[in-house]
Amino acid sequence: MIYTFTEEHSMIQQAARDFAKTELLPGVIERDEKAIAPLAQIKSMQEMGFMGMMCDPKYGGDGMDTLSYVLAMEEISKVEPAASVVMSVQNSLVNWGIEHYASEEIKQKYLFPMASGEKIGAFALSEPEAGSDATMQRTTAVDMGDYYLLNGTKNWITNAAEADYFIVIAQTNASKGHKGINALIVEKGYEGFALGPAENKMGMRASHTHSLMFTDVKVPKKNRIGKDGFGFKFSMLCLNGGRIGIAAQAVGIAQGALDLATQYSKERKSFGKYLYKHQGIAFKLAQMEADTEAARLLVHKAAWLKDAGKDYSKAGAIAKLMAADNAMRVTTEAVQIHGGYGYVKEYHVERMMRDAKLTQIYEGTSEIQKIVIARALIKG
């Protein structure tokens, strides 16, 4: 692996760091507590170009590489992962999928406004009975000639409340199994499309997650992404890259918690000395630093492979597995180092611990990442 950290990468990293500090940090505790989405901040992210980072400028994007994207993801996630997940779904699932596999007509109509920051997208794969076992789609898209008739329910959809456009995965021909599944673009205003109530979640509370209900929704045939039956493969291909974004998010959460724990250990005294002077605390911090740096390098490796046009599905799964599990360990240790203060909201680390948990679940649980890694290993 040879990757260069250019001046442009440093500038993007700094811009994301400054944005997180000035625009996200001030209200982050209140937004988490009251489950308020950071709408004004998402608007700023759109204006700053964070919502179309990797997309070709001819479709309204910034044409940046995946390394730039993961650097920005990490910085924003240090402060408010509920904001970075909006960016992650939009960049690496929705925009990337459309740019690589949709028709030119779809790109002009849907990708351009999303990549240029006017509109928001969501990705609807999960269902009440199809989470990890994603081929078991019950939502149906019946071929009616020039449109599909969409019926069913999607669950756990990130960005659902804010999104203008949804990529919806649905079964057209059950007898063909995963080869009978399609990916369709559904607009917010289509008749028969409704949002369920927001989930009351443990973490990432400022990112609103809803179910989607479709009752006889007519979706034009031209809104299908790729050939008939490509929808499942399409969603897997999108998730390969999405997992790199979530891995970067997990590194950011871990680094944010480590920074706070390190700072606290320099301010708080016990038994007559600063916490960091106790070897028990210093060793914890050292392990947190070493593990987070290792996770970061796995994320950068996966990003480099993607930019180099090489296979990155195993590398993305490894990065997500290691970074998410590390985020859970590091945030738990950060709460422990803060003692009683770590358990109260003003000190941020309890929120980070709750947020970290989701990185082990969405875009494929840690167990799903192990399936992806094991299959690649056996295949050789």
Distances (CA, A) of 353 to 138, 249, 264: 34, 13, 16
Closest CB to ligand CAA among residues 142, 237: 237
Of 29, 47, 7, give the one whose Cα is nearest residue 349.
29
* Nearest-approach distance from CB 362 to ligand CAA, in angstroms: 4
Instruction: Out of 23, 105, 363, 367, pick the active-site residue.
Output: 363
* Nearest-approach distance from CB 53 to ligand CAA, in angstroms: 17
* Nearest-approach distance from CB 39 to ligand CAA, in angstroms: 18
Backbone angles phi, psi at 205, to 5 degrees: -70, -25
Contact between residue 212 and residue 193 where contact means Cβ atoms under 8 Å apart: yes
User: Which CB contacts under 8 angstroms, 24+ apart, belong to 68-71?
Assistant: 68/8, 68/9, 68/12, 69/245, 69/248, 69/303, 70/244, 70/245, 70/247, 70/248, 70/299, 70/300, 70/303, 71/9, 71/12, 71/13, 71/16, 71/248
CB atoms within 10 A of CB 295: 27
Of 228, 331, 342, give the one whose Cα is nearest residue 275.
342
Point out which residues bind ligand CAA (CB under 6 A).
Answer: 89, 123, 125-126, 132, 134-135, 157-158, 178, 232-233, 236-237, 239-240, 313, 362-364, 368, 371-372
Closest CB to ligand CAA among residues 92, 265: 92
Closest CB to ligand CAA among residues 281, 323: 323
Burial zone of 376 (CB within 10 Å; 0-12 exposed, 13-18 middle, 19+ buried): middle
Closest CB to ligand CAA among residues 154, 284: 154
Of 132, 80, 124, 42, give the one whose Cα is nearest residue 355.
80
Closest CB to ligand CAA among residues 81, 364: 364
Contact between residue 69 and residue 52 where contact means Cβ atoms under 8 Å apart: no
Closest CB to ligand CAA among residues 25, 236: 236
* Nearest-approach distance from CB 160 to ligand CAA, in angstroms: 9
Residue in the structure block whose two tokens are 């028709």: 103
Closest CB to ligand CAA among residues 149, 237: 237
* Nearest-approach distance from CB 340 to ligand CAA, in angstroms: 33
* Nearest-approach distance from CB 299 to ligand CAA, in angstroms: 17
* Nearest-approach distance from CB 139 to ligand CAA, in angstroms: 14
What is the Cα–Cα distance from 113 to 52, expressed in whole angstroms?
A: 9
Q: Could you confirm whether 363 is annotated as catalytic?
A: yes
User: Which CB contacts under 8 angstroms, 24+ apart, belong to 222-226?
Assistant: 222/103, 222/105, 222/106, 223/106, 223/184, 223/185, 223/186, 224/148, 224/182, 224/183, 224/184, 225/97, 225/98, 225/101, 225/102, 225/106, 225/167, 225/182, 225/183, 225/184, 225/185, 226/101, 226/102, 226/183
CB atoms within 10 A of CB 375: 12
* Nearest-approach distance from CB 138 to ligand CAA, in angstroms: 15
Closest CB to ligand CAA among residues 219, 372: 372
Q: Which residues are catalytic?
A: 363
